[in-house]
Amino acid sequence: MEEDRRTAELARKAVEMLAFSYAPYSRHHVGAALETEDGRIYTGCNIENAAFGPTVCAERTAFFKAVSEGVRGFRRIAIAGGIDGVAADFCAPCGVCRQVMMEFCDPDTFEVLLTREDGAVKVFLLKDLLPMGFGPASLHPIK
């Protein structure tokens, strides 16, 4: 089925991104593949820093690449991670990345796909990973 093929491709891209991870301090490599509403894919990896604080996660790299190019609509994100780039177990997104997803995605429909390198995928809705999330609808943006 076409949807299964697309899911497998998104998961594979997240695993492929492990190769680009820059994680000499934690050795925890993470890759992400973010699918836009119109079917494009933005990828990301974690990028660490000797000062630790500037480190950015794979998920946020993917989101910020997309948003910086004017994309605002997202369907789902696949994430893979593991020590030395071996994604043997499922790797869940950190709280900060869940909050960034909350900024740009509908928590009722946006899907987070946890991916292993053997191709196994676990699917969660953002609302289940960030219950009662605080997002744009919680504020009154000045237009």
In the set 18, 97, 126, 130, which binds ligand THU (CB under 6 A)? 97
- The CB-side HSE value for 62 (13 A sphere, CA atoms) comes to 35
How far is Cα 38 from Cα 72, in angstroms, rounded to an integer?
Answer: 11
The contact mask relative to ligand THU for 44-83 (x = CB under 6 A, - = no) is --x-x------x-xxx------------------------
Q: Whose CA is closest to 80, among 20, 24, 134? A: 20
Q: Whose CA is closest to 32, among 78, 86, 93, 100? A: 78
Q: Which of 2, 3, 35, 59 is catalytic?
A: 59
Q: Kindly state whether residue 129 participates in binding ligand THU, applying the rule CB under 6 A.
A: no
Q: Which residues are known catalytic residues?
A: 59
Residues that bind ligand THU (CB under 6 A): 23, 26, 28, 30, 46, 48, 55, 57-59, 93-94, 97
